[in-house]
Each structure stands twice: as structure tokens, then as C-alpha cells.
């Protein structure tokens, strides 16, 4: 472990030094230390200290009460970065969803309540000293994921640890030790007891950061978590759709969790995809974006007529066509057909460079113009405007107010009730 040298920002050293100078032992814990053990760049820096929240607040001028009741205070560094400082804690009571905690006086008590040995390692940013009472560094070297203490008890304390185990095992290429795996699989039936938001966030973390989300998703499947949480996806297993889904998600870039989610549900039937997305409790805008991108039809071949290209763009929308094409490109890479998809991408970009009308709002006339023409507002307005859009998708040069008014007049003849009386 002496070869491992995390590189904390200067603000971390400043916070630790300030607390230590005031007599409060303080250590770095969590993701930054774990990532360093795995040979990854250290990301989020979390600190744990013997100081109580009120003492932390008195020592620093700019703080944010992130979770005072749980012992967490956010300390703002000079550059505006927020660092979480949490008082040593110990569990008093757990129910599988939440833990009642009490403040503790020692680092060892705090590390003993953590989920896995690789997360129960502390490092001192000033002295460069490690504390590893549960041999997490050795487990990381052996590429082994193991719970702190008895696996059955640890998972029963918080069933979210099941999903965290699958995520860590995938991201760090770890093997879950036998006792932990058996306890994990036995506990998956309790996953629905967790809030939908916590379940969703674990999935999005996999889709956001993992280079190969397929590995975590396969662990979801092997453990039974996929069947319990996402039966729609579990129904794809055993066939070509599941293989294609995993390949597609892997081919999409990290940092785009909603795009990868669209790739994940793309092969589901519409009602199954909708049910899964509703259960995830995304925002309405996020749900709509994922649904549109996942449900987009394949783009026209690069040699297809311009009108066909415009109709496809209109069906998907300006806001979503790039993301829908990324899904197509991901499928094409998996099938070694990337050249055709790239050609389609380039053709669509050329079409868009001319700024063609693609939606009713792009037409040279509007519903107000129809009223000025003497037409009475009604359901036929939408029909007329949709028909006009179809015509300008075929021939964008026809998007002229005079011509569209003539076409609207002709269409209105089919709806006598569309005329104002008198």
C-alpha cells in the first residue's frame, strides 16, 4: 500500500489541517481512497472526522448544512468546490432501507459500519497514513469484493448494498467472494422495498460511468436482480435481443446515462419500455426524451430521396435526431456496418444545413392566419396544418404564405363547419 499515493486537491489538505489543528482527527474515506487503491484517478473526496457538525461549522466560514442530522456538513473551498465532512458514526438500528446512526469517537467505529472492505479504508492526506482494519487493500489487490462482517447482516442493513456490490464488481473487475455472493442472491427479493429513486440512481451510475455497462447488467441478470427490478429487460435474455442490447449500450459513450438508457430499452415493446421508464421515476422531460430516442425508427439510407430524409427528421425532431443517430451508430458498430450509418449521419446533416421546415411551427402560416382567412377554430386546424407540413416536407420551396393559404382554402372546403357563419 505504500506505493499508492492519492493526490488530493490542496483544499482537502486545508480542510484536514484546519480540523486537525483544532484537535479533531480527520481522514479521507470513500470513493477517492477506493479509486486510488484500484489504480484509478481519485474523484470525489469525502472526509470523516471526530468533530461534531456544529464544530465544523464554527471552523469554516462557508458551509452548507447538507445533512446535519446525519453528521454531514459541506465545506466550500475557495474555488467553490463543495467537500463533504461527516462526523464519525456508528449504526444504532437498521431496517433494510434506512439506518439510525449515532456519532462515534473513533475512526475504527466508522469504518466498521461500511459496506465492503474496499470502502472501509481511510487515508490521511497530511501524513500519508492508511488505516485498513478490514484488509480492503489486500482484497483490491486480489480483485475480490467482500463485505465488512457477515454478508447476511450487511445486506439486511441496507438492501441497496446489493446493487452497489454489482456496480463495484463490474467497475473494478472484482470477483464477489462466495459467501457475499450467496447472501446477495438470497436477498434480491427484498430489492422492491427500496425507493424507486435509489434503485434508479444505481442504474444510472452504471450507465453513466462504466466503460462496459454490460458487465454490471450481466451481474444483475445472474444474481436475479434484473428479474426482480426490470422484468421487461429480463424477458430479452436468452435471445439475440439481449446480446444486441448489451452490445449497443457498450458502444455508447460514458457520461450519457439517458442515451444509454434509451439504448437499453430500445428493443422492448412500446408498452414495456413505457412501464419501465415510469417505474424509474425520471422527470417528465427525461422520460419523454428517452422514449423518443429509443422509439425512433431507423434512419433512411444515405441514398434515399431528400423528402424521405426530411420526413424522418420531422418524426424524430431537431432536438433528438442526433441522439437517435447515436443509437443507430452504436448498433452499426456492433454489426460492423458503421460506414453506412456514418453516411446516413452525414446526409442528414447536409439536409439540416438548409434549415428545412420540419414541424408545424416552421410553416409560413399559423393558426392565427387561418382565423384571418375567415376559418373558425376547431379540430380541423390541426388537420389542415399537418397536411400543409406534409406538403412542405416533400417540397420545402412551397413553404410560402401565399401558396399555403391557397392550399388551406382548398383543404377547408372539406369541412363546411370550418367557415364562420355570415
Distance CA 328, CA 257 (A): 17
The count of other CB atoms within 10 Å of the CB of residue 14 is 17
Angle at 280 between CA 99 and CA 183, to 5 degrees: 45
139 pLDDT more than 90: yes
Q: What is the pLDDT of residue 393?
A: 97
Answer whether 217's CB lies under 8 Å from 260's CB.
no
| Cross-strand pairs, 102 | 90
- Note the pLDDT of residue 93: 63
Q: What pLDDT sits at residue 142?
A: 96
In this prediction, residues 196-210 reach a mean pLDDT of: 97
Confidence of residue 416 (pLDDT cuts 50, 70, 90): low
Residues 6+ apart with CB under 8 A from 279: 196
pLDDT band at 137 (very low <50, low <70, confident <90, very high): very high
> At residue 3, does pLDDT exceed 70?
no
**Is the predicted pLDDT of residue 69 greater than 90, yes or no?**
no
Q: To 5 degrees, how large is the angle CA 182–CA 184–CA 188?
A: 120
**If you average pLDDT over residues 374-393, what whole number do you get?**
92
Which DSSP state fits 296?
P
How far apart are alpha carbons 49 and 328 in whole angstroms?
Answer: 49
Distance from C-alpha of 175 to C-alpha of 182, rounded to nearest angstrom: 13
Average pLDDT of the chain, as a whole number: 93
> What whole-number distance in Å separates Cα of residue 342 and Cα of residue 54?
58
Structure confidence by residue, pLDDT tens digits, 267-309: 999 999 999 999 999 999 999 999 999 999 999 999 999 999 9
Within 8 A by CB and 6+ apart from 296, the residues are 315, 316, 320, 321, 324, 327
Cell numbers for 404: 399555403
pLDDT band at 422 (very low <50, low <70, confident <90, very high): very low
> pLDDT at residue 86 above 60?
yes
Q: For residues 197-206, give the mean pLDDT.
A: 97
Q: Is the pLDDT of residue 336 over 80?
A: no
Residues in CB range of 216: below 8 A, 6 or more apart: 166, 167, 169, 170, 171, 206, 210
Is residue 257's pLDDT more than 60? yes
Q: How far apart are CA 296 and CA 253, in angstroms?
A: 19
Sign of the alpha-carbon torsion through 258, 263, 269, 272: negative
Who contacts 325 (Cβ-Cβ below 8 Å, separation ≥6)? 299, 341, 344, 345, 348
Confidence of residue 95 (pLDDT cuts 50, 70, 90): low
Amino acid at each position: 500500500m505504500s506505493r499508492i499515493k492519492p493526490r488530493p486537491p490542496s483544499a482537502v489538505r486545508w480542510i484536514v489541517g484546519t480540523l486537525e489543528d483544532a484537535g479533531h482527527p480527520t481522514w479521507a474515506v470513500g470513493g477517492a481512497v477506493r479509486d486510488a487503491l484500484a489504480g484509478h484517478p481519485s474523484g470525489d473526496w469525502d472526509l470523516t472526522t471526530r468533530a461534531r457538525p456544529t464544530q465544523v461549522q464554527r471552523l469554516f466560514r462557508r458551509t452548507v448544512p447538507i445533512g446535519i442530522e446525519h453528521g454531514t456538513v459541506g465545506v466550500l473551498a475557495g474555488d467553490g468546490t463543495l467537500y463533504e465532512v461527516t462526523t464519525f458514526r456508528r449504526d444504532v438500528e437498521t431496517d433494510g432501507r434506512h439506518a439510525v446512526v449515532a456519532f462515534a469517537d473513533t475512526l475504527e467505529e466508522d469504518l466498521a459500519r461500511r459496506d465492503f472492505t474496499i470502502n472501509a479504508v481511510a487515508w490521511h492526506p497530511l501524513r500519508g497514513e492508511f488505516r485498513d482494519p478490514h484488509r480492503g487493500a489486500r482484497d483490491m489487490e486480489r480483485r475480490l469484493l467482500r463485505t465488512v462482517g457477515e454478508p447476511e447482516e450487511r445486506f439486511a442493513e441496507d438492501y441497496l448494498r446489493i446493487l452497489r456490490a454489482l456496480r463495484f464488481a463490474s467497475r473494478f473487475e472484482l470477483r464477489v467472494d462466495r459467501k457475499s455472493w450467496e447472501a446477495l442472491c438470497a436477498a434480491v427479493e427484498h430489492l422492491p422495498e427500496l425507493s424507486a429513486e435509489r434503485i434508479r440512481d444505481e442504474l444510472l451510475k452504471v450507465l453513466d460511468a462504466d466503460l462496459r455497462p454490460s458487465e454490471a447488467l450481466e451481474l444483475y441478470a445472474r444474481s436475479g436482480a434484473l428479474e426482480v427490478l426490470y422484468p421487461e429487460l429480463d424477458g430479452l435474455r436468452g435471445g439475440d435481443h439481449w446480446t444486441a442490447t448489451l452490445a449497443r449500450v457498450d458502444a455508447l459513450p460514458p457520461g450519457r446515462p439517458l442515451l444509454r438508457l434509451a439504448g437499453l430499452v430500445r428493443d422492448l415493446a412500446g408498452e414495456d419500455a413505457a412501464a419501465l421508464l415510469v417505474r424509474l421515476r425520471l422527470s417528465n422531460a427525461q422520460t419523454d426524451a428517452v422514449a423518443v430516442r429509443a422509439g425512433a425508427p431507423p434512419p433512411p439510407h444515405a441514398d434515399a430521396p431528400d423528402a424521405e430524409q426530411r420526413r424522418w427528421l420531422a418524426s424524430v425532431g431537431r432536438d433528438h435526431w442526433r441522439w437517435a443517430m447515436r443509437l443507430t451508430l452504436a448498433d452499426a458498430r456492433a454489426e460492423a456496418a458503421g460506414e453506412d450509418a456514418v453516411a446516413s449521419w452525414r446526409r442528414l446533416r447536409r439536409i439540416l444545413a438548409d434549415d428545412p421546415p420540419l414541424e408545424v411551427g416552421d410553416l409560413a402560416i399559423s393558426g392565427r392566419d387561418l382565423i384571418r382567412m375567415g376559418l373558425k377554430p376547431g379540430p380541423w386546424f390541426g388537420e389542415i396544418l399537418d397536411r400543409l407540413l406534409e406538403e412542405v416536407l416533400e417540397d420545402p420551396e412551397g413553404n410560402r404564405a401565399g401558396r399555403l393559404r391557397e392550399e388551406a382554402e382548398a383543404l377547408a372546403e372539406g369541412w363546411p363547419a370550418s367557415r364562420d357563419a355570415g
